Each structure stands twice: as structure tokens, then as C-alpha cells.
Amino acid sequence: MPISDRTIKELINKGDLLVTPLNFDNIGPASVDLSLGNGFLVVDHHQMTNLSLDKPIHYRRIEGSRVIIPPHHFLLATTDEKVRLPNYISGRIEGRSSIGRRGLFIQNAGWINPGFEGKLTLELYNANELPIEVNSGRRVCQLILDFTDRPVENPYDGKYKGQSETMGSEAHKDRELKIE
């Protein structure tokens, strides 16, 4: 069950939940709107012939606060806000409806584990027939939070913890690929 605006504010004021920088006007009835940060990543198609889940991806970094996403193209971005979840709250990212209605789909691999801390990498896809311009500072997604049934035994301590900029896929570092 999503956490309400009242509880979100209480958790922030108590210091258990961190969303920074935070404009309290961005707290909705059961979510917190997050904004696009600076810097973007796109797959460097000139360096690769195909993508594999088992090998690193070569990305091209686009610095700055503005990018134009061509039709039917994908890129990675980051939130402007840093988030820290306590060991009893999980989260997920949903694109804002107003942005999705423009044909810009925004995801975050779906899930944020209790204990995560850092900026969130966002997956942006232009489903439109026209290019879409996006700018840093624009509210593009919502952080939705849920309580776990009790504090988790092992808070998130994975490969994306502490990220401070847009990060590409680290699937090639998954534990099932490690040879013992």
C-alpha cells in the first residue's frame, strides 16, 4: 500500500527518508515528484555490433542540461534528487502521466530496495514519431513508497548504491556470471 503525503512528510522531518534537494510542493497525495538531473548516456552504436547481457556496454555521455531524444530512441538519465530509503521502505518510479501523454516513457527498472542511497538512473524512451526535447530540472517521474512488513534483514548494498550520476547497466557483473 503506498505511503501517504502525511507519512512521507513525517519520515522526511524525522530524517528516516531522504529526498534532496526537496521542494515540499513536489509531494503529492501518495508520491514525490522527482526531476531530471544533468548528464545522459546513450549506447555508442559505433563501438558495438550488438548488446549482450553478459558483456559491458559502451556508452556515450552527453553532458549538459538538455537533450533531444529522436523518435523510437532510448537513453539513460538521472534524477536531480538523491534518495535514501530506510530498511523498512521500498520504492518504485512511475513516469508522470502528463509526460507519458507526450510519448515519453520513463522507467527505473521498476524497483528500489530498502537501504538504497543515491541518485536514481532513469530509462527514457521516445515512443513518438517526433523528437522530444527534455531539460534538467523538469519534473518527469514520481517516487512511490511502500512499507515492508518489517525491517529487512539485508538492506540494499548492490552495485548501484551511492550512484551520483547517470549509470549504465552493470548486468555483466551479476553474481550468476561469476566463475568460482
β-sheet bridge partners, residue 33 = 142
Residues pairing with 147 in the sheet: 89
Q: Of 63, 94, 117, 123, which residue is the catalytic one?
A: 123
**CA dist list (Å): 152 to 90, 93, 149, 155, 156:** 10, 20, 9, 6, 9
Respond yes or no: is residue 123 known to be catalytic.
yes
**Active site residue ranges:** 123
